Structure formats: structure tokens, C-alpha cells
Chain A
Amino acid sequence: MYPLEWIERLKLGRAAGRPGQAGAVSPVVLSLGLTSLLTDISSEMINSLLPAYVVLHLHLSPMQFGVIDGLYNGFAIALLSLAAGFYADRGARQKAVALSGYALSAACKLLLLAVGTTYAGLLFVVGLDRLGKGIRAAPRDALISLNTPAASFATAFSVHRAMDACGSLLGPIAAFLLLAALPGRFDAIWVTSFGFAVLGVAALWLLVPKSPPASDSAPTTAAPRWSGLGSRRFMVLAACGALLAATSISDGFVYLMLQQKSATAVGYFPLFYVMTATGYMLFSIPAGRLADRTSRSSVFVGGYLMLIALYTLLYWQDHLGTGALIACLALLGLYYAATEGILMALASQVIPAERRTAGIAIVATGVGVGKLVSSIAFGACWQGIGMSNAILVFGIAMGIAMLVTVTLLRSAPHG
């Protein structure tokens, strides 16, 4: 019924402990998770220190900055990640490309020691760091799927994402503890951050085997670039991923609405991020296992149902108590757990191994572009027709997008 899966099971017999059994996670995936965890600690240590008033010093209004930042950086990084994806697939260089992305981010931390505490230096380094992130994400996700039997894709991605979220929670805490012990010594932060980044690179370099098995035998490098990316289900997934992202309200706006509707939230805005990440970390693995055992597309669509529930709460409730606030953030965490990694698992299922990196990069870029569109559209809606109406518009649009997704996914079965 699904020949690709069968071939992969055969090929991945060595890498995965118990091939074919849902729930088995290869040590390679754990190593990639460790890499992401260490790198996220390193990056988030610095991101959490970035003074928010950098924006104010640039003499640009936040809106201008957001648009410029989103269009220029987002566009450049999207192009770069697509290019990196295609390059990585030729001759199975996923590990090398991912390694270069992680190494670039690690080098950034060392650069911080040189540029010191100047804002311009910080901004430059953070920009480079994001570039590294753009390069490494798709090859890393390809490595996850290439080292996992198809039956466990969702579990593998969910384990990786849980470890990733854990790192982004630990980073700010590490930075806070260091600064509490050594007030004003930012160089201590840069050095520690560099240490974690080096460990992340070392984990990838030493613990992840070099070539993914799939491309060893197949002389596919001569095949046309887009071959294998033309399957109907792949295109449906890429398009629906982008469509759903474009109809979901960006986190920034959700947090803003939560803050306006709850009295307890004054001044504790960043706590929202932390609680969402905690929810993501906790729910990720259960959602992944459920997806592998039942149906990945059902869990994926279910994730968006969580978002609809969140919008309903935001639309009907004028005031949110602490309990309702936590429920809202838990819904957001659940949504991420049920959609982000699962979409990659769904996509990996239909992209042939020799085009895996490029395919994943295309899906991820579609989601990124969708988010940018949603951010601009929701901002405009809010200003034009008010918060409640904007939620209503986006809720209805998301409902339609979900119906389209379900219909298309049914009409385009595996293969």
C-alpha cells in the first residue's frame, strides 16, 4: 500500500532499535534533541538579555521595524533555507549543512566577546544567529526522519521538539542565575553561552552518524531537482500548512489580548512565553505517540481545534481569571505540540528520502510565510474593525481552512 514506508523500514533497520514499532525512538533522534537543547540554552541565554529598547534607539517605530525585519530578514532566511535544503539533499550532506548552521551560531557567541556590550554588536550577532538557524533547521529535521522508521515519525519529531522546548526554557534561567551571581558581567554570559553552543556542535558532530542510509544506494543526484516533490499529497500538505498558518493569530497578538483581558497579567507578559513553552514541552511527546498510534492528520487537525477553542474563549470572555488564563496558554501549548512536529512527520511520510531536506524546507517556509501574512493581516484587521471582530474573522477563516485541509487530505491519500 505504501512502498516508501516499506523501503525505509528496510533501510533503517540498523539505526532504529525496533523497526516498525510505533514509539521507538532512535538514539540519533535523542542526540539531535540534545544538540537542539544545548544550542537553545546557548541562544536563549542571549535573547533573553536583549534590551527591548533597542528598537527605540534605532529611531524606527516598532511597526516599521517589524515590517522591515520581517520582509528583509524573513525573506532572506527563507531563501537561504531552501537553498541549503536543496544543497543538503545532493550527496546526502544533511549533517554537514546542519553542522555548518550550528557552528555559525556557536561562532556568533565567540564574536560577542569581541563586540562586547554594544547594542549594534548584539543586533548583528543575533541576526547571524538567526541565519544559522535558517540553515540548520531543515537538514536537522531531515536527519530526524531519515533515522527513524516511518511508523514512528511523529514520536521522533515530538521527542526532538520537547527537548528543544526544554532548552529554550533553561536558557533564560541560566542567564538569570549567572547575572544574579555576577552582576553586570555580560562576558560571563557570552562565555557560558559559547560553551553550551560548542557542546551542541560536538553532540551533532560526534553522536549523529554521518550519512543517512537512504541516499547511499540510490544514484539520485542526477535526477531533476523537483522530482519526488510533485506528489499531490505533498503539495496539499505544503499548501494547507501555509493556509492554516496564515489564518492563525500570531502569538504576539494572542498574548496581547490575554493581557488586556486579565487583570493578573500586568507586568508578567514574558511569563506567557514561558508557560506556552512549558505546555509545548509537556504535551509534545504524548501528542506524537498518539499521532503514531492513531492518525497523524487527525492529531494535526485536532491541534487547530485547540486554537479554535482558544479563539472562542477570547471572543466570548471579556474578563479572564487566572484559571482561564492558564487554560488559554495550555491550549496554545497543546496546539504547538499537536501541529508543529506532526506537520513535519506528515510531510516526511510523503517526501522521498533523497528529497527530504528540500521538501521539509519548502513546508517550513510555507508556514513561515503564512505566519508573516497573518501578522500583517491581523494587525490591519484589529485597527480596522476592532479586536472582537478581528478574532471572529480569523476564527471563521480558520474554520474554512480546516475544512479545506480535511477535504484535501482525504482526497489525497498516501502515495
Chain B
Amino acid sequence: MVKQTRIFLAICAGSALLVGAYLFQVKRQSQAPAAVAPPAGNELPTTQVPDTMPADSEPVAAEPVTPTPSAPQPAEPRMAAASQRIFFRYTGVDSHYGKVAWNDRAHPKQAHFVDTLNCEVVYVAGGHGICLSADRGVFTTYNASLFDAKTFKVSNSFPLKGIPSRARISIDGTLAAFTVFVTGHGYSTLDFSTQSLLIDTGTGATLADLEDFEVRRDGTVIKETDFNFWGVTFTPDARGFFATLSTAGQHFLVRGDIAARRMEIIHENVECPSLSPDARHVAYKKRLKIDNRILWQLQVLELQSGREIALSERRSIDDQLEWLDDRHVLYSVPAAADDSSPSTNVWIAPIDGKSAPRLFIENAYSPAAVRCKDPAACAAAGS
């Protein structure tokens, strides 16, 4: 017994020594700024960019090394976009993973990183940004931060009730909305629920929880305990919104009036709606059940006529679409079909339902094409 104890203590000492040596090696590696080693076992491209990049100074061109020679070129948009910025969450597996980044429409391959903002979901509009973040630690907590789109200074921060899912800001920058999966309705239980809140970007105050709004269907008020709301998109006047209401396995498109605290069911089988800048179309994912698996087909609904157009994207997409302009939508797709990579790419598809989708930004998630209500102000902010 004594002998065994001695062997055990020897193994303890040996393991401690080996693990300690490995950790020491890792520490030394990570202190050398030039050699940012990617985590073991990934085959994804790395970027060679300086570690620190002051966001508000002259942006340095930080070009991700792309493995594919065919540079993703955006389909030709109809609208003139002098210096439109696209914000996104960078998902390349390197030291910038999860950071907010942006590029210029004119130079889509040049990513600029905002190293102070680490987000799961990000959105920017009207000079305001919202970042939903996860602080992983002994207890993973989730937070929302409102930030200035030019200085990237955080003005307000508050805790979230669960795992970040979607975020939007109204085009005038006054209102923000987000959806989280409420923790505890996790996969071990047979229930899951979402919380969607409307936020005043100026004060960070919660204006409303969509669950408190009155819901009408064909004029009559309905109310069920299993109501879940997600995927808010604001109307251009920031007085109304569209969202998904799910109840009893069905998913409805609702149009909401913020002042009246009321919404009305206007269409069926619509998830994560996104209203076009001209407010004529709603782009969304349509739920299909094939072989007991849920798949989502991207669709566009013409609000006036109620006509549905299926986009030419053949993959199942789980994302809230973003409008690049009135004719093109952006969405993110996992880089590996089997989810073996944490990276995602942003694709672009025209809404005609005919032309094929194209790769738009590599290693990106949660795209936000910045546009302003006042084009003059937009140009000033973008330059």
C-alpha cells in the first residue's frame, strides 16, 4: 500500500510537471505578439493583422488571407452606396474571433476590427449599435451593450436573461430590439421560450416586452400561455415593427404598433422577418418539415399582394436576413455543412428568386448594412 501511494504521488508530481511545462509554453507563446497561434486542430485561414487597432483612428487595411482565389464580389446593387459600411461579427478562428468588425462597400475584403467589442450578435443602424455578448466563465452570463457606431464607446450595458439570438435597431437609431433564448428552457427540459424586448437606445431603458402586447387575429384578441416572440424588425418610421409569434407549433408574422402596444397577425409560417428599406417586402425563413427535420427556406413576402417568392438559396438557413438594399438580402451560413467549424460566411442573394446566391463576406456573422434615414447624415457618418 505504501509502495502504491508512492507511485501515485510520483505520477501526481509527473503530471503536474508536464501540464505545468505545457501551460508555461502556452503562456510564453501567447505573450509573443507576432506569433498568434490558432487553437489546435483547425484548418481555417488565419489573418495576419496587428493585435491592437485603434478603432477611431485612420483604419489600417487588415486584409484577411482568403484561401479561395475567387474574391467574393457583391452582386451589382441598384442603389448608389458611396461609402456604405457593413458591420458584422468576425468568425475567423484567430485572435479576432467574435469581435465586431466592419468593412466598406467599396473595399469588401478589408476588415477593420473593433477589438473592444466581443459579441455573439451585433447590429448597427442610425449611428447606434447593439452588441449581445456572452461572458464565459465559472458562470456564463449574457449582456447587452449599446454603443456609438463611430467611437465604439459603450453608453449602456445591462444583463440578458438568456442566450443571444437576434438584434435590430431602427433606421433612425432611437429603438433597439433583441431576442434571447431564456436560460432554463434548455435542451434538458421539454420547453423552450424566447424573450423579445424593445429598448430605448438613448437611455438603455426597456420600453416593452412583446409578451405584454395585445395580439389580435382577424380582429379578435387572442392570448395563450405558450406565446413566444422573436426576430423583431422595425418599420422605417420606428413606430411599428414586424416579428414572429409562435403558438401551438405555428409561426405567424405579426405587425405591431408600439404606441398602441398591440399587434395583428398578418401571415402564416414566417420566422425571423426582416423588412426591406422601402418597406415593401418582408424577407424571412419559412419552416419546412422534411424527414422529421426542420429546414428553413428563405422567402420574400410582398406585403401589398401577399405574394411569396422563394429565394434561389437551396440550403436550409437559420438566420434573420439583412437587406443590403431594396433588391438584395444578406445572411450567414456555417462555413462547414456539418457544423464542425465555428466560422460562418455571409452570403448575398437577390430577391428575384432566380439568380444564384454568392459569397459576400468571409468569416462573418450577423451582418448589418448601415443606412441612415437622412442620406446626407449617412454620407457624413460613413466618410
Which 6 pairs show the lowest CB-CB distances between chains A and B? A116-B41, A379-B190, A267-B159, A256-B184, A270-B139, A62-B192
With a cutoff of 8 Å between Cβ atoms, the chain B residues found around residue A51 in the complex are 136
With a cutoff of 8 Å between Cβ atoms, the chain A residues found around residue B16 in the complex are 195
Q: Does A182 contact B (CB under 8 A)?
A: yes
Most B CB within 10 A of own CB, among A60, A118, A183, A271: A118
Q: Does A114 contact B (CB under 8 A)?
A: yes
Give residues of chain B (173-208) contacting chain A, Cβ–Cβ below 8 Å.
181, 183-192
**Which listed segment binds A: B7-15, B100-108, B274-282?**
B7-15
Q: Are B190 and A67 in contact (CB under 8 A)?
A: yes
Nearest CB on B from A380, distance (A): 7
**Which listed segment binds B: A76-84, A185-193, A211-219?**
A185-193
Partner of A119, one of B19, B26, B190, B339: B339
Closest B residue to A185 by beta carbon equals: B26
A62-B192, A118-B41, A198-B11 known; A182+B27 contact, CB < 8 A: yes
Interface string of B24-62 (1 = CB under 8 A from A): 001100100000000111100000000000000000000
Give residues of chain A (28-74) contacting chain B, Cβ–Cβ below 8 Å.
48-49, 51-53, 55-67, 69-70
Task: Report how far A348 CA is from B186 CA in the complex, Å.
Answer: 35
Q: Are B23 and A266 in contact (CB under 8 A)?
A: no
Interface string of A248-280 (1 = CB under 8 A from B): 001011011001000000111111001000000
Nearest CB on B from A190, distance (A): 8
Task: Report how far A209 CA is from B338 CA in the complex, Å.
Answer: 46
Q: Are A176 and B186 in contact (CB under 8 A)?
A: no
Closest A residue to B36 by beta carbon equals: A184
Q: Does B316 contact A (CB under 8 A)?
A: yes
Q: Are B338 and A120 in contact (CB under 8 A)?
A: yes
Give residues of chain B (273-305) contacting chain A, Cβ–Cβ below 8 Å.
293-295
With a cutoff of 8 Å between Cβ atoms, the chain B residues found around residue A253 in the complex are 189
Q: Does B140 contact A (CB under 8 A)?
A: yes
Q: Does A10 contact B (CB under 8 A)?
A: no
A118-B41, A187-B40, A195-B15 known; A66+B188 contact, CB < 8 A: yes
| Complex A-B: 6 CB contacts under 8 Å | A62-B181, A66-B186, A185-B30, A187-B39, A188-B22, A380-B190
Nearest CB on B from A373, distance (A): 12
Interface of A is mostly: helix
Interface string of A222-264 (1 = CB under 8 A from B): 0000000000000000000000000000101101100100000
With a cutoff of 8 Å between Cβ atoms, the chain A residues found around residue B316 in the complex are 59
Closest A residue to B95 by beta carbon equals: A184
Task: Report how far A2 CA is from B308 CA in the complex, Å.
Answer: 77
Which of B's residues lie within 8 Å of A, judged by CB?
4-5, 7-8, 11-12, 15-16, 18-19, 22-23, 26-27, 30, 39-42, 93, 95, 97, 120, 136-143, 159-161, 163, 165, 181, 183-192, 225-226, 293-295, 316, 318, 334, 338-342
With a cutoff of 8 Å between Cβ atoms, the chain B residues found around residue A203 in the complex are 8
With a cutoff of 8 Å between Cβ atoms, the chain A residues found around residue B120 in the complex are 53
Nearest CB on B from A262, distance (A): 12
Closest A residue to B296 by beta carbon equals: A59
Q: Are A255 and B40 in contact (CB under 8 A)?
A: no
Most A CB within 10 A of own CB, among B137, B186, B189: B189
With a cutoff of 8 Å between Cβ atoms, the chain B residues found around residue A207 in the complex are 4-5, 8
With a cutoff of 8 Å between Cβ atoms, the chain B residues found around residue A186 in the complex are 39
Task: Report how far A56 CA is from B192 CA in the complex, Å.
Answer: 12
Q: Are B142 and A379 in contact (CB under 8 A)?
A: no
With a cutoff of 8 Å between Cβ atoms, the chain A residues found around residue B293 in the complex are 59-60
A185-B26, A199-B15, A269-B184 known; A118+B190 contact, CB < 8 A: no
A187-B40, A206-B8 known; A379+B191 contact, CB < 8 A: yes
Q: Does A167 contact B (CB under 8 A)?
A: no
Closest B residue to A258 by beta carbon equals: B184
A192-B19, A207-B8 known; A176+B340 contact, CB < 8 A: no
A206-B7, A206-B8 known; A62+B18 contact, CB < 8 A: no
With a cutoff of 8 Å between Cβ atoms, the chain A residues found around residue B185 in the complex are 62, 256
Contact size range, A: 35 or more
Q: Are A118 and B341 in contact (CB under 8 A)?
A: yes
Most B CB within 10 A of own CB, among A66, A172, A187, A267: A267
Partner of B189, one of A66, A114, A199: A66
Q: Are B138 and A181 in contact (CB under 8 A)?
A: no
Q: Are A202 and B8 in contact (CB under 8 A)?
A: yes
Task: Report how far A199 CA is from B342 CA in the complex, Å.
Answer: 32
Which of A's residues lie within 8 Å of B, judged by CB?
48-49, 51-53, 55-67, 69-70, 113-121, 172-173, 175-176, 178-188, 191-192, 195, 198-199, 202-203, 206-207, 250, 252-253, 255-256, 259, 266-271, 274, 375-376, 379-380, 382-383, 386
Q: Are B23 and A118 in contact (CB under 8 A)?
A: no
Closest B residue to A259 by beta carbon equals: B184
Given contacts A191-B19, A191-B22, 18 further A-B contacts (CB under 8 A): A52-B140, A56-B165, A61-B294, A62-B186, A63-B190, A117-B93, A179-B136, A186-B39, A192-B23, A195-B18, A199-B15, A206-B4, A252-B186, A255-B184, A267-B143, A271-B139, A379-B190, A382-B191
Task: Report how far A187 CA is from B185 CA in the complex, Å.
Answer: 31
Task: Report how far A69 CA is from B186 CA in the complex, Å.
Answer: 12
Task: Report how far A252 CA is from B93 CA in the complex, Å.
Answer: 33
Task: Report how far A369 CA is from B186 CA in the complex, Å.
Answer: 19
Q: Are A116 and B40 in contact (CB under 8 A)?
A: yes
With a cutoff of 8 Å between Cβ atoms, the chain A residues found around residue B294 in the complex are 59-61, 64
Closest B residue to A253 by beta carbon equals: B189
Nearest CB on B from A184, distance (A): 7
Q: Are A172 and B5 in contact (CB under 8 A)?
A: no
Partner of B41, one of A63, A114, A206: A114
Nearest CB on A from B333, distance (A): 12
Closest B residue to A61 by beta carbon equals: B192
Nearest CB on B from A296, distance (A): 30
Q: Are B340 and A118 in contact (CB under 8 A)?
A: yes
With a cutoff of 8 Å between Cβ atoms, the chain A residues found around residue B19 in the complex are 191-192, 195
Nearest CB on B from A183, distance (A): 8
Q: Are A119 and B187 in contact (CB under 8 A)?
A: no
Q: Are A63 and B8 in contact (CB under 8 A)?
A: no
Nearest CB on B from A178, distance (A): 8
A56-B163, A120-B339, A172-B138 known; A181+B27 contact, CB < 8 A: yes
Q: Are B187 and A62 in contact (CB under 8 A)?
A: yes
